[in-house]
Structure 1
């Protein structure tokens, strides 16, 4: 299996602005990307403050030190495939809390996205897979950001690789475990195996 390296940034959703803006230097997110995130979020104009940008040697501990307790965030990664993917977490990250569950449909407002292909994968409201959208995110000090119980998208503890297994809690539940679906999200060529999940 081919690992997919990434550059990772966490952006805080700040007070409304006149247009989508990114405050702080990040090579991961362009102005056009910020505008797309603003449109998908659907809450009017936004400003994004850079909370964390991965540096050499950073780990999940560094991510959580910067992002925990900060409120709603976008996590954005530029993969070695060239794709820019990420997730919106409406809750604060909290390395000590474990699973963030959303049994009420009204609370299922998180989403995953691929900015390169303009793909939006909302948190599922119902379905036939084992999680059916309830597992919004996982918070653990040994893990980078984790979305969904599949894990639909997760970043390893060393913040240098990610794993995708869409359909458990985000996107099309009928395609859970579908390598073509997952490869399309991360930008891997069809027919290649997805990277292995990070160890927990």
Structure 2
């Protein structure tokens, strides 16, 4: 019964995610890298959950160096595209959407993708070197690197961003930045590191 209810929930969420992706595809203002990342998050999670039954996650999720073979170093890059559950994926899906809506057009798609990928990679390297685990997931370090960039640019040039406090876009960004740090010590550390790396990269690039 529990598995049946879970499958129904995943199916309903899949329908909503498809509708959401279709809606933002119809919106010409959605930045291209932001849209692409949303599609990748959703496609990987739904395909692995519904069709492949965790086979994809066994191949691509993160591992610490003490649990990783040399031929598996690709996991440092692939791990951030996997998520541990539906809530985790949805939180990051909306997180990258709102962060991308605020930032990608301001700094350009190339730099946006670079900061996202480097933020994820640096945090993955640190965690793989100094901790032991066999299933690392989540894009939030890269998203927090982009939030660090927003923070830095806002301090330097406040008029660059049109924040409306009380709007649901700004409210979600604030909630994501704060509540996301209560999921556990490891998650909070990865978020703080991503945020710091985002600021440092911004100082070098802007």
TM-score (norm 1): 0.34
Per residue, is there more strand in 1 or in 2?
1
Greater gyration radius: 2
Per residue, is there more helix in 1 or in 2?
2
TM-score (norm 2): 0.33
More RCO (CA 8 Å, sep 6+): 2
